[in-house]
Amino acid sequence: MSKPVMHIDRPVTDVERWTGDRVEVVGPDDARLGEAAAAIVGGIRWDGPRYDLAPDLRVLARTGIGVDAVDIDEATRRGVLVVNTPDGPTVSTAEHTMALLFTVAKTIGPHQDRLRRATGGYAIASTATELDGLTIGLLAYGRIARRVARIAAGVGMRVLVCDPYLDPGGVDADDPAAPDVVDFDQLLARSDVLSLHCPLTDETERLLDRQAFARCKPGVIFLNAARGGLVDHDALVEALDAGRVRAAGLDVTDPEPLDPDHTLLHRENVVVTPHIASSTEVGRDRMLSMAIEQALQVLDGERPANLVNPDALAG
């Protein structure tokens, strides 16, 4: 009996450590996508025409949290189970978020540039910020944000959280280190550092617009390692120009990547990385192994742990 075909959309070495001999692995080219019963996917757009290329597909496993590049309704209509790996990128993305914060708060880029140019007067030129005692506001309080909160608290920061979907038991009010839960306006007004952690939906698209930045605490440091579409980047540039936003650390933008001439790539007080927050060696392996494990569960007739579209089970 032939093995099921699993398509992986990127080059992977040693994939047998996760698949064993249970499937035949193909890809990353699409030459045999039409035979695939399972697909392990990154950021490639999956819509009707792409599903047409894989008529035997049973499971689409996303290596990451976000499924905004996947047409879930189309998958459900075709009976394709969509899974993601919400625990996979948590540690790496949270650490990267804090790395962005430290980089812009401590003005690492300008310091390095002055040293390379041998300008002298380094200490007097420094505009670095001390984080101890500042307030970091987290928009949404999922796995990554909770990890960020722990790290931030460890360096002496106060933590605010805004999440309309937060379970009432999601924050332990008796814990002296528990974050304060506030509404969106309070989050903007009180945060010295504002960090985005919500998914991109119709409700959250361009949530950080001119009006939102105008309501931010003057001099806020802005961080986004979630989705670029959460932010109106023209509004962010205006807020930076006006000094309302002191500095920004971005791992995601809209579009991705930015044009090389985009102003955000040429500012001393802005650091932009190319959507690689989760892409540590450990993080990549963790997400890939979780995606493959769930795809194998589906091929074995089991319900996967992180099923995005349970209605597809009817198909």
Q: Are 287 and 309 in contact (CB under 8 A)?
A: no
Is residue 63 within 8 Å of 41, Cβ to Cβ?
yes
State how far the Cα of 305 lies from the Cα of 294, in Å rounded to an integer: 7
Residue 202 CA, distance from chain mean position: 17
Catalytic residue among 32, 45, 150, 256: 256
Q: Distance (Å, rounded) from C-alpha 119 to C-alpha 115?
A: 7
Of the residues 77, 111, 262, 275, only one is catalytic, namely: 275
Element (H or E) spanning 283, and its range?
A: helix 281-299
Give the distance from CA 145 to its chain's centroid.
10
Contact present, 97 and 263 (Cβ < 8 Å): no
Evaluate whether 277 touches 93 at the Cβ level (below 8 Å): yes
| Token pair 């009432």 in the structure block, residue | 168
Contact (CB, 8 A) for 226 and 257: no
Q: Is residue 256 among the annotated active site residues?
A: yes
* Torsional class of 118: left (φ above 0), alpha (ψ -120 to 50), beta (otherwise): left
Name the nearest CA neighbour of 40 among 73, 95, 84: 84
* Tokens describing residue 105: 């708060």
Token pair for 137: 């506001």
How far does CA 39 lie from the centroid of its chain? Answer: 21
Q: Could you tell me which residues come within 8 angstroms of residue 292 by beta carbon, excluding any fewer than 6 positions away?
A: 6, 15, 18, 19, 40, 61
Give SS3 for 184: helix
74 catalytic per annotation: no
Which position among 58, 62, 96, 227 bears the catalytic label? 227
275 a catalytic residue: yes
Catalytic residues: 227, 256, 275
